[in-house]
Amino acid sequence: MLKYFKTVNKLAEAETVEKKSRFIATVKPVSSEDEVLSFIAEIKKKYRDATHNVFAYQIGERNEIQRQSDDGEPSGTAGLPVLDVLRGEDLKNTVIVVTRYFGGTLLGTGGLTRAYGKSAKEGVIAAGIIEKILYKYIYITTDYKSSGKIQYEILKKENIIYNTEYTDSIKFTVLCKFDNTCDFIRHITDISSGTAVIEEGKTSYGKWINGELLMD
């Protein structure tokens, strides 16, 4: 699994106009090619009266799946510039559909390339670029006497205390960046002289939105 990667935050739409032609970019984070194909079909249905519905997408840890379509525009003038926006930002698991309503004026190959690229960029801006970080859930159970010191050490190492349970002992649910897991566990074991009970949980991606960490 990737330790971190960039994608878009949400489904979003942005419209631009070039010489009376309307370009509507619809951008969405996705998790599979089946989801992509369903989304493209949905947009084509929504804009069934459009002149073109151009698309591009990237899926996979190493962008193993890359597809693009000019949908009737001159070869290389539409789908490729949209795909280049995804490549340029290295946006994984993302699909962009750019819908065009022809305005009566030919843009030429260069004009088309610029218009589709610009529309895709505006769509990505509207959707918002985020970084997803792979975290490991770590559960630390300790007595009340040691809890203050352990809490201080957890936060000093730039981890996140996701939850705290108070019973006859204290149990911290900690989110630790995956790469730091072994060092973190070793450190807590050392500073607690082995008295803290440490359990490893699942791994999950998180994203920071407006200062708040949201977990998948």
Q: Kindly list the domain boundaries of the chain, sorted by start residue.
A: 4-127, 134-215
Span 123-130, mean pLDDT? Answer: 97
Q: How many residues does the chain have?
A: 216
- For residue 151, the tally of other CB atoms under 10 A from its CB is 17
Name residue 15's amino acid: E
- For residue 98, the tally of other CB atoms under 10 A from its CB is 33
Q: Name the pLDDT band for 95 (thresholds 50, 70, 90).
A: very high
Beta strands in the chain (DSSP E): 4-8, 12-18, 21-29, 52-59, 65-69, 94-101, 129-142, 160-166, 170-177, 197-209, 212-215
Residue 158 has pLDDT above 90, yes or no: no
Could you tell me which CATH number the domain at 134-215 has?
A: 3.30.70.240
Residue 157 has pLDDT above 80, yes or no: no
pLDDT on residue 1: 85
From the list 128, 89, 129, 125, the residue with the least C-alpha distance to 16 is 125
Segment among 15-19, 76-80, 209-213 with least mean pLDDT: 209-213
pLDDT on residue 201: 97
Q: For domain 4-127, which CATH number applies: 3.40.30.10, 3.40.50.720, 3.40.50.1220, 3.30.230.30?
A: 3.30.230.30
Q: Which residues pair with 58 in a beta bridge?
A: 66, 94
Judge whether 66 and 85 are in contact, CB under 8 Å.
no
Span 125-141, mean pLDDT? Answer: 97
